[in-house]
Amino acid sequence: MASFFRLTSSLRGLTRPNVTNRVSVRSLASATGTKKAAVAAQVQYEEPNEPGPFFEQEPAGPRVATAIPGPRSKDAISDLNRVFDTRSLNMLTNYKQSYGNYIADLDGNVLLDVYAQIASIPIGYNNPALQDVARSDDMISAIINRPALGNFPQADWSDILETGILKVAPRGLNQVFTAMAGSDANETAYKAAFMWKRQQERGGPDAEFTQDEMKSAMNNLAPGAPNYSIMAFKTGFHGRLFGSLSTTRSKPIHKLDIPAFDWPQCSFPMLKYPLHEHQAENAAEEKRCLEEAEHIIKNYHNPVAAIVIEPIQSEGGDNHATPAFFQGLREITQRNNVLMIVDEVQTGVGATGKFWAHDHWNLSTPPDMVTFSKKAQTAGYYFGNAALRPNKPYRQFNTWMGDPARAILFRAIINEIERLNLVENTAVTGDYLFGGLEQLQQQYPEQFKNLRGKKQGTFIAWDHPQRDQFLLRGKSMGINIGGSGASAVRLRPMLIFQKHHADILLDRLSKMAADMQ
C-alpha cells in the first residue's frame, strides 16, 4: 500500500477518474503505542476525483537520499559562508532541479515544499508559463533597460499595469503605487497616510507649505516633520526597514538596537480554539481589542494618521480574528478620520481561498490602502482616494519605484491563476487538508493544538510543544515546512498544491506525530 500518491498523468489540466488519493487517518484513532507507528505507516486512501496535476513530470513524491544538509550541501554552505552570512539558512537549494511543488538540494533530496520561500512562490518552481514569459522580448527589454519609473516610464507601462497589477485590484481601489518589497510597500503607504493627514490640516492640496514647515523639516522637527504615528497591533509583522520596523511587534530579534518611532500598538485578539466552543469568550476578547483601538486613536500623544493590520498575523504566530472584528475596526477608523492600511503581503494573491484575504470580511467600505508583495513577485500598495496622491511631484518617489520586469511576471502569474482556477483550487484543497488535520488532531491532540485556518484556503497553522524539533523531523521525512511565532507550525503551500499533495503531507505528518508520541 503506497505511502504517497504517485502521479501517473502527463496531461496537465485533465480530470483523472477514480484517483486513489484521500488520506484516511480515522484508523489511527484506536491505535496506541508502537501500534500507532505501524498504523501511520500504512495510511489508507479513498478515491475522490480531482483535476490532473498542474505540472507535467512533477516528482511522484518526496525523496530523501541523505541527511539534510548532505555532504555536497555542507561543502557549498561552507564556501558561501566565507562571503555571505548563512546563519539563517534553511536549505541550500538547487533551483534547476526544483519543480512544481518540490524543492531540491545538491545531494539529491527532493522535498514537498509547503513553506514556498516564506509564502512567496505562487505557481510552482520552474513554471513553464513563467519560463515562456521570461524568454519574451518584453521581459528582455524590461530587464536590460530597467527604467527609473517616476522619470522615464516605458511607453507601455499603463498597459502593463492595467492588464496585470490593476486587473486584480481589490474592490474600490483603482490606483497603485509600485514598490520593490513588502517593507517598501508598507513604508510608502505610511508616507501617503502622513501626507494625507497633514494636507487635511493645512487646508487641502492647494495650500502651500510655509517657510516654518520647510525649515523645521530639515531639522526633523515639527511642524515640517509632524509627530504623527501609525498604530499597529501586538505580534504583528510589517517589515524590517525603519518605518515598517516601528510597526513590527512579533519578535525582539527584529527590533533590537534599532531606533524606533514613538508609535502605539494595540492588542490583537487572542482567540481560543476550537472557535465554536468559545464564541462568547472570543467575542468579548474582540470587543476589548476594539475598545482599546479606539482609545489609542483618540488619546495617543502622537496623533494616529493610520492603522496597519494583517488579515492573519503571519510571522507573529498565525493569529486570526473574525470578520466582525475587522468590520468594527473599519467603522472606528472611518468615524475617527483615520486611514486603514491592510497588509496583504503574505495573505494576498489567493492564499486564503480568495484573491485578497480581506474579501472574507465583507466590508461595506473597502480599506484605504492594501499593500502586497510575496506571491505577486512584485510589490506596492493599492488605493482609490485621489487625495492619497501627494499634492506635488517627487514626494512619493525613488529611482526605481518598482520594476517592470516583476510587473510583467505578476501579469503572467495572474493569467495562470485564472486559466487554472487556482484560487478556487486553493479553497477546495484547503478544506480537504483541514479535514485531514482535524482527524490528526483527534489522534494527537498535544501535537496539533489550536488548529486554525478553517475556510481560509491553505493558510493553516497549529501549535506544537516541540515545534522546532517537529520542523527538523519534517525535512527528514521529505517535507519542507515552516514555523511562526513561538510554537506555531504554519502551512504556506503554493496555489498549485492539490489534494494528492495534501495526502502526501498528511501521511508524513501522521508518521512524524507517531514518531514523536
Which residue reads 487641502 in cell numbers?
A: 204
Tell me how far apart the alpha carbons of residues 390 and 20 are, in angstroms, rounded to a whole number. 57
- CA distances from residue 484 to 247, 461, 462, 489 in whole angstroms, order as listed: 18, 9, 10, 6
Question: What does DSSP say about strands 50-51 and 102-104: parallel, antiparallel, or unpaired?
Answer: unpaired
Name 74's Cβ contacts closer than 8 Å, sequence gap at least 6. Answer: none
Catalytic residue among 36, 354, 374, 375: 374
In terms of Cβ atoms closer than 10 Å to its own Cβ (0-12, 13-18, 19+), residue 77 is: middle
3-class DSSP state of 394? coil
DSSP H or E run through 176 = strand 175-179
Contact 198, 217 (CB under 8 A): no
Catalytic residue among 107, 113, 318, 343: 343
- C-alpha torsion sign, points 110, 434, 117, 159: positive
Name 257's Cβ contacts closer than 8 Å, sequence gap at least 6. Answer: none
Q: How many CB atoms lie within 10 A of CB 330?
A: 21
Amino acid identity of 271? Answer: L
Which residue reads 505580534 in cell numbers?
A: 235
Q: Enter the DSSP assignment of 372.
A: E
Q: What DSSP string describes 477-511?
A: TTEE-EEETTTEEE----TT--HHHHHHHHHHHHH
Grid coordinates of 207: 495650500
Question: What does DSSP say about strands 229-233 and 304-309: parallel, antiparallel, or unpaired?
Answer: parallel
Q: How many CB atoms lie within 10 A of CB 219?
A: 9
255 assigned to active site: no
Name 78's Cβ contacts closer than 8 Å, sequence gap at least 6. Answer: none
497 assigned to active site: no
Contact 416, 494 (CB under 8 A): no
Beta bridge partners of 265: 232
Catalytic residue among 35, 242, 399, 455: 399
Helix residue ranges, H only, 370-498: 404-419, 422-443, 467-476
Q: What DSSP string describes 203-251?
A: TSTTSPPPHHHHHHHTTT-TTTS---EEEEETT----SSHHHHHH--S-
SS3 of 239-293 = CCCHHHHHHCCCCHHHCCCCCCCCCCEECCCCCCCCHHHCHHHHHHHHHHHHHHH
Tell me how far apart the alpha carbons of residues 277 and 26 are, in angstroms, rounded to a whole number. 23
Question: What does DSSP say about strands 339-343 and 304-309: parallel, antiparallel, or unpaired?
Answer: parallel
237 assigned to active site: yes
Catalytic residue among 54, 233, 237, 497: 237
- CA torsion, points 192, 196, 197, 201, in degrees to nearest 10? 150
Active site residues per annotation: 237, 343, 374, 399
